[in-house]
Amino acid sequence: MKKYLPTNFDLVDYDRELLKKQLDLETVQVIMDRDAEREAAENDGRPIYVRSVKRFTNEEGMFERLRMDLQRIAQEYGVDEDKVNDTFFEVSCSKSKLIDVLKG
């Protein structure tokens, strides 16, 4: 039974902000299916599951993250958010070019 208990090596320490950003950018679907072949081979009566993970782009979260970034840039440079949005489109949607324009 001890082999099924997690050790400190198995536990992951997540950076909360990085995890939130990752969840904003993609949706993760985890599916657990029983593995009949391994159950039959082990023959000890315990169910054995196989995990499959599918990742999908979260477009709503991606645009929300972009909106938050542009809002932060507007506050940082003391510029109206509408002006920042217009300038962002004028510089081909490049945040680095937007910051250069706002600095200069």
Distance CA 100, CA 67 (A): 19
Look at the chain and count its residues. 104
Does residue 2 carry a pLDDT above 90? no
| pTM score of the predicted model | 0.59
How confident is the model at residue 31, as a pLDDT? Answer: 94
Does residue 20 carry a pLDDT above 80? yes
Q: What are 63-94's pLDDT values in tens digits?
A: 999 999 999 999 999 999 999 999 999 999 89
- As a whole-number percent, the residues of the chain with pLDDT over 90 amount to 45
Q: Is 8 helix (H, G, I), strand (E, B) or coil?
A: coil
How confident is the model at residue 47, as a pLDDT? Answer: 87
- Mean pLDDT over each residue of the chain, to the nearest integer: 85
Q: From residue 6, how far is each of 1, 2, 10, 12, 58 by CA, in Å?
A: 11, 9, 6, 11, 31
